[in-house]
Amino acid sequence: MRTYEELEGGKGRVLTFRPRRFAAPDFSPLQCTVTLEAGGVERECVVRDVSRNGVAFARPDDLSVQLGQSLELSVRLDKNAIWSGRARVRSVREQDGGTLVAAAFGEVLLDTDELRQLREIWIPGTLDIRLEEQPWRARGAHQFKALVSELRLYLETIQDKLRALEATLPWSVAEGRWSVSRTALVARLRADVATDVLRLFTDIGAAARCADPAESSALKEFSVRQIHALLMQASWLHRARYKPLGYAGDYEVMNYIYERDFEGPTLYARTIGYACMQTAAARAVRCRKDLMKRVLRSILERKAGSPRAVRFLSIASGPARELEELFTEMQELPVALEVVLFDQDMRALEHAYHRLRPLADARFPGRVSIEFLNESVKRLLRDGRLFEDLERFDAVYSCGLFDYLHEVTAVRLARNLCAAVVPGGLVLIGNMVDHPHRWIMEYHLEWELLYRTRQQLVDIGRRAASGASIRVLEEESGVNPFIEVVPI
């Protein structure tokens, strides 16, 4: 904002005020015309420009107009008359291969403010007040719209009831970390509300699949208008949608899914957040962590007593929760372990360092080495020699990165990972399959994945490592299968 001392007026020819002239293009796509009476016949002429006190228009070749002549005319914007009355011809001149007539209005001047307002009102697309112009308008998908509307009513009801309940509860129950009453309340909300919300989520997903793909954009807008604000009260959904670190599924979102399943500013926010934690993709994230933990533990037990340290490489490691739980649960480490965590996000690596390093040192002093590699995914995908200087690994695993990679890129990365393992080593690649709650991720979280079938995942492994032993590993939810590739 400028101060009064900095404000400037007109310069040059505009120093002396004159009513502003509006040229015909200023009204586009509306058309400004002049209608006048000549010989008992109404003629329509194209306007060149118009101002508060006059109008200039193109004269038809067969129309005679004299200097000083008084004309009865009407100025129109499309079909709307914006001025009518008598005007006197002030000039007639040849211009651009035609004849231009300038006429001055009589006692009644044109209200140019109303002219601008009329243009804003009638220009197509300005108001978007027709039903068919609404971005959420879909002619079909009645089941989807009915279910989403039902979900909205249910969430609003739950919000109102929990707000009223919260106002009557003591702090120890509403906000405290533990009490018998709080435990009972949370258990009921989880059992009742979460179950019903999840059922509606699943039904809506089925309806979305049956809808015309051409209406997908409209259905997204419909869902956003109906329930987005109710969902975004959940802390983890809000973070997943608005991506403060610039990408989907950051390490804090993973932490919410792993351990912070009942958090938020209100009882309703915590309840809806928990319900969404039970969706297929969120449950798969927890289950794939458990699968990786079992596989890594099996390798350590199989290598027990080996003089050579076992080596693991985690691609797009995030918080590396599988290792944290592995270190916590194992009573002893049967073999020395060296871990490399690769992630493009330094904050994720810092988080993993602060949780893993003290834990490993306390549980297995001198037995665990952890290296944190901060490099871009771009280099990971393009540089086949990225891990060339590192000693080969017994297992390389990627839980979530391949969900974002197109097939050619996925094959290239899988090939590079296969080159990084020792003979008999494992490459573990996860990729989500399609699931019934996909619409929530895409419509409300702007979180889109490249879903693959198990066969498509196996094909990536075969193209990456010809002749390799490949099998599919399943986590408990069945939504995030892995291929286990053993290159020859």
Q: Given this model, what pLDDT does residue 164 score?
A: 94
What length does the chain have? 488
Q: What is the mean pLDDT of each run of 10 residues along the chain (488 residues)?
A: 61 62 84 84 90 92 88 87 91 90 89 75 67 80 95 98 90 69 85 94 96 93 97 98 95 96 92 96 98 98 97 98 98 98 98 98 97 95 91 98 98 97 98 98 98 98 97 98 97
Ranges of beta strands (E only) in 267-381 are: 310-315, 337-343, 368-374
Q: Given this model, what pLDDT does residue 413 score?
A: 97
Which residue spans of the chain are classified as CATH 3.40.50.150? 284-486
pLDDT in tens, 282-295: 999 999 999 999 99
Q: Given this model, what pLDDT does residue 271 score?
A: 95
Q: Given this model, what pLDDT does residue 7 score?
A: 59
- Measure the CA angle with vertex 188, ends 182 and 189; round to 5°: 90
| Tokens at 25, concatenated | 């293009």
Q: Given this model, what pLDDT does residue 457 score?
A: 98
Q: Given this model, what pLDDT does residue 106 score?
A: 85
Claim: this prediction has a pTM higher than 0.75: yes
Q: Given this model, what pLDDT does residue 29 score?
A: 79
Which residue spans of the chain are classified as CATH 2.40.10.220? 17-127
Instruction: Tell me how crowded residue 250 is: count the other CB atoms within 10 A of its CB.
Output: 20
Q: Given this model, what pLDDT does residue 183 score?
A: 84
Evaluated on CA atoms 472, 474, 479, 484, the torsion sign reads: negative
For strands 70-77 and 80-95, give the pairing.
antiparallel
The answer to whether the CB of 384 falls within 8 A of the CB of 419 is yes
Residue type, 437: H
Which three-class secondary structure state does DSSP give residue 114? helix
Q: Does domain 284-486 have CATH number 3.90.580.10?
A: no
CATH of span 17-127: 2.40.10.220
Q: Given this model, what pLDDT does residue 126 score?
A: 61
Q: Given this model, what pLDDT does residue 127 score?
A: 64
